[in-house]
Structure 1
Amino acid sequence: MTESNKLNKVDILSVYFDNVTLIDMQENIKQFFLSEAKDNLFIVTANPEIVDYATEHDEYRNLINRADYVIPDGTGVVKASKLLRTPLKERVPGIEMMESCLDIANDKHQKVFLLGAKNNIVIQAKQRLEQKYPNINFNFHHGFFDFSDERVLEQVISFNPDYIFVGMGYPRQEQWIERHMGCFNQTVLMGVGGALEVFSGTKKRAPMLFRRLNIEWVYRVIIDWKRLGRLKSIPKFVFKVIKVVIKK
């Protein structure tokens, strides 16, 4: 990333966020497909957990900073931006970003590849999404494969998708995207974490009250105690932000 590009971004612990709303991103996606460029669009949805991981893994931090858009998927990121006096406009939940892309894809009769989760889950996600978005042509593959297995890449390439949603968790999903994005033309590629489980119906998204209060992560912990171990990244993230605030 050049210094001029950094000036247009919001720096949260050396992860450079785009100061965009969900509506901004919807327009960016539409304009991307109206353009004649053959480049791809790499979108990273980063929450405090991802930012904390990036602070301790230079290679991953550099990778996500090379993406076309890094959007704030986490209340903690938005609050940190305010503490650092470079406020982001709003939180842009990754699952809502994906839904926006699916709305556009349905309007335009486009092709969507779902890559990730267990085989039965991604199959269920595909079936449910086909019912909701009848104009989209879907294809899929589970996320439990070795990157050296060229058959998976060949399946995705032969499908020639307009969108590839990779639900393998960080850093793996972003690593797959950067490694292979040169194989596609005018394709939107985005890591979507556990979104495929939500779309499959095997996990529920937080009720609206939790969403309005910006505490979806609390609901996810309540329904999945395995996430408790991952919560340690939140106080680490907060402590690192406070250190930067004090230095400033």
Structure 2
Amino acid sequence: MEKETYLGVDVSPLSYDEIITDLKSRMIQGEQSTIIAVNPEKVMAAKSNSELRSLINGSTYQIPDGIGVLLASKLKGGSIRSRVTGVDMMERLIRFAAEDGYKVFLYGAKQEVVETAKQKLEEKYPGLNISGIENGYVKDQDELINKINQSEADFLFVAMGSPRQELWIRENMKKLNVKVFQGVGGSFDVFSGKVKRAPLFYRKLGIEWLYRLMKEPSRMKRQLALPKFLLRILFTK
């Protein structure tokens, strides 16, 4: 697939449905796939961090999670027309798994959070088979790998924060029989009901960042990555 590149970081221009269509083909062929969310903050960090840049560019799908990536594509005449957020991508994959009979494993977060996320997802999607869960505090990694393989999971969602979760996936994916890996940050908190997403109005406009900033003014320093990113894009050929 043709990808767009911003400040040395690749971004996949595919929509949710296009990613799932492509994944279906890759799964049939027995290929493993990884999904990583890309936003301006991550791009700016990757600009000066070659390991992070390599981690992002080495993924199968780099989804345009941030509104800044969408704006960058428009500024440069790219083909990205909508955001593909990490939490919504996870939910689309969960629905796909439920409809097509695939198994899911949830790894990360606190025990009560991952347990509640499992319960609520299975209630929302009848037929969904979450064949295993594990909190993010497990010490014995070999035991964890065995547990995931014994669950026969096709999808593995890892919630440990970025880039830690993606580094874990890269380090362990060849030991696992999983077909699709996604690092999902705080998504288990959302699905468990512990954390509320921004109202739909903010999500449709792509300004969830503004809602979070109003709720948590301490995020201001992180949000400065957006204007810095767009200025870099404007003055980069």
Q: Which residue of 1 aligns with 2:64?
A: 72
Worse overlay, 151-160 or 68-77: 151-160
**Quick check: 1:20–1:90 contact (8 Å CA) kept in 2?**
no
Q: TM-score, normalised by structure 1?
A: 0.87
Q: Which residue of 1 aligns with 2:95?
A: 103
Deviations 1:51-76 (A, max 9, x none): 12211210111111111111111111
In structure 2, distance between residues paired with 1:173 and 1:52? 19
Distance change (3 Å), C-alpha of 1:143 and 1:234: farther
In structure 2, distance between residues paired with 1:170 and 1:157? 23
In the alignment, structure 1 residue 155 sits paired with structure 2 residue 147: yes
Deviations 1:168-191 (A, max 9, x none): 111101101111111233511011
Q: Which residue of 1 aligns with 2:75?
A: 83
In structure 2, distance between residues paired with 1:213 and 1:126? 29
In structure 2, distance between residues paired with 1:226 and 1:162? 38
**Quick check: 1:122–1:200 contact (8 Å CA) kept in 2?**
yes
**Quick check: 1:160–1:184 contact (8 Å CA) kept in 2?**
no
Q: Which residue of 2 aligns with 1:197?
A: 189
RMSD: 1.9
Q: Please, which of 156, 167, 174 is the counterpart of residue 159 of structure 2?
A: 167
Which consecutive residues of structure 1, in runs of 5 or more, have no partner in the other structure? none
Which consecutive residues of structure 2, in runs of 5 or more, have no partner in the other structure? none
Q: Which residue of 1 aligns with 2:179?
A: 187
**Quick check: 2:149–2:177 contact (8 Å CA) kept in 1?**
no
Counterparts in 2 of 1:1-248, with a 5 A limit? Answer: 8-33=2-27, 35=28, 37-138=29-130, 139-145=132-138, 149-185=141-177, 187-244=179-236, 248=237
In structure 2, distance between residues paired with 1:154 and 1:229? 41
Q: TM-score, normalised by structure 2?
A: 0.91
Identity of aligned residues (%): 38
In structure 1, distance between residues paired with 2:150 and 2:220? 40
